[in-house]
A = this chain, B = another copy of it.
Amino acid sequence: MRPTVHDIAARAGVSLATVDRVLNNRPGVRKVTRDKVERAIETLGYVRDVAAANLAKSRSYPFVFILPEGDNTFMRGLAAEVEAARARSAIERTAITVVFVPAFDPAALAAALGQARDLAPAGVAVVAIDAPEVVAAVDALRADGIAVVTLVSDLPGSARDHFAGVDNVAAGRTAGTLMGRFLGGREGPVAIVAGSMLVRDHRDRLEGFSAAMAESAPRHRLLPVVEGHDEPAEVERLVSTLLAAHPDLAGIYNLGAGNRGLIEALETSGRQKEVCAIAHELTPHSRAALISGTLDALLNQDAGHEVRSAIRVLRARADGLAVIGAQERIRIEIFLRDNLPVDPA
């Protein structure tokens, strides 16, 4: 049977109250006694029963999640995952408030962070935009002792506690290597579609992709990046224009959202088999396109993992505990039509 505080008290020859004082380092214990108790804890291998402790404390963790609005499928999926976490909040003793802000709008985001601060939560998770006012708002939260985790897109230069997202330079590199190898002997330029160079994750992916392509397929020319603002309709126009302008187009890398537009444009052109297309995020649309062969590979970050990781980190920070970095690292998943999970993410 697992040792309890009573066992420690007996073993150390002290009272329960003293054990409690040591365990929760309350004052009023001589060092000799403290040592005795700590030795007993050590030899018995006592581990505090967190469930019982939380029950006794009736602790709760109020968190705020700030997510972008818009009909981008990935972000909607992320919101759904936060909602799922909210549903679990009863048993996890978290109280999650979700706030939506206009996408790509630094001022609105900074304002939302300010309002979150007024709620005095234990922690805030935010899909960041890389702008000075956002950095300032995050730092203000931290100054109030509120834990902050960036989600999906990071905010380097701020005092955020943690980034719950993938290494986007590595993601871009992965896409570049796959593109280079899939192109094989083919000739022709490669196009790149981004959402916005305002967000850090897109800039990072571009950097990684360009570098890896230069290594794995140096003879392929990269066309200038076009920005589709993660809007399917805009992406479709851009890609159609690219396809028309470059009859020898060998590949397309969409490093942002708006895959519906990419897929639509490719299939309308009838060149979906000749053009090697790589994109991000597994959604019902991208999934179908991967199966049909319009998309050749898909990189993915698991939104559910990211949300759960963010919550774990926020809770740990709220308790003043350390975070095991390796355990919270979000993986870059590669999907081909053959290793698709049965359920759409």
Please pick, from B185, B212, B339, the residue contacting A338 in the complex, using a CB distance under 8 A.
B212
Task: Give complex CA distance A170, B342 in Å.
Answer: 11
Closest to A91 in B: B50
20 more A-B residue pairs beyond the given contacts A49-B90, A170-B339, with a C-beta to C-beta distance below 8 A: A47-B91, A51-B54, A51-B91, A171-B339, A173-B338, A174-B336, A174-B339, A176-B338, A177-B336, A181-B181, A181-B182, A185-B185, A208-B338, A326-B341, A326-B343, A329-B341, A331-B339, A331-B341, A332-B339, A333-B333
So how many copies of this chain end up in the complex? Answer: 2
Which chain B positions have C-beta within 8 A of A343? Answer: 326, 329
The smallest beta-carbon distance between A185 and chain B, in angstroms, is 4
Q: Which A residues from 191 to 241 make CB contacts under 8 A with B?
A: 208, 212
The smallest beta-carbon distance between A188 and chain B, in angstroms, is 15
Task: Give complex CA distance A52, B176 in Å.
Answer: 51
Q: Which A residues from 299 to 345 make CB contacts under 8 A with B?
A: 326, 329, 331-334, 336-339, 341-343
B339 touches A326 (CB 8 A): no
Task: Give complex CA distance A212, B337 in Å.
Answer: 11
Which chain B positions have C-beta within 8 A of A336? Answer: 174, 177-178, 334
In the complex where A51-B91, A54-B51 touch, is A339 in contact with B329 (Cβ < 8 A)?
no
Task: Give complex CA distance A22, B235 in Å.
Answer: 56
Please pick, from B55, B326, B338, the residue contacting A177 in the complex, using a CB distance under 8 A.
B338
The smallest beta-carbon distance between A117 and chain B, in angstroms, is 24
The 10 closest A-B pairs by CB, nearest first: A184-B184, A51-B51, A173-B338, A334-B334, A174-B338, A332-B339, A174-B339, A47-B90, A185-B185, A326-B343
Closest to A296 in B: B181
Chosen A-B contacts, 21 in total, with CB atoms closer than 8 Å, are A47-B90, A47-B91, A49-B90, A51-B51, A51-B54, A174-B336, A174-B338, A177-B337, A178-B336, A181-B181, A184-B185, A208-B338, A326-B341, A326-B343, A329-B342, A331-B333, A331-B341, A332-B339, A334-B334, A334-B336, A334-B339
A31 contacts chain B at the CB level, 8 A cutoff: no
The smallest beta-carbon distance between A207 and chain B, in angstroms, is 13
Q: How many residues of A contact B (CB 8 A)?
A: 36
Closest to A176 in B: B338
Which chain B positions have C-beta within 8 A of A171? Answer: 339
Task: Give complex CA distance A170, B174 in Å.
Answer: 21
Closest to A89 in B: B2
Closest to A332 in B: B339
Which chain B positions have C-beta within 8 A of A332? Answer: 339
The smallest beta-carbon distance between A325 and chain B, in angstroms, is 8
The smallest beta-carbon distance between A231 and chain B, in angstroms, is 28
Which chain B positions have C-beta within 8 A of A50? Answer: 91
The smallest beta-carbon distance between A6 and chain B, in angstroms, is 14
Task: Give complex CA distance A338, B175 in Å.
Answer: 9
The smallest beta-carbon distance between A235 and chain B, in angstroms, is 24
The smallest beta-carbon distance between A59 and chain B, in angstroms, is 11
Contact with B along A153-186 (1 / 0, CB 8 A): 0000000000000000011011011100110110
Which chain B positions have C-beta within 8 A of A90? Answer: 2, 47, 49
Task: Give complex CA distance A182, B91 in Å.
Answer: 48
Task: Give complex CA distance A91, B46 in Å.
Answer: 11
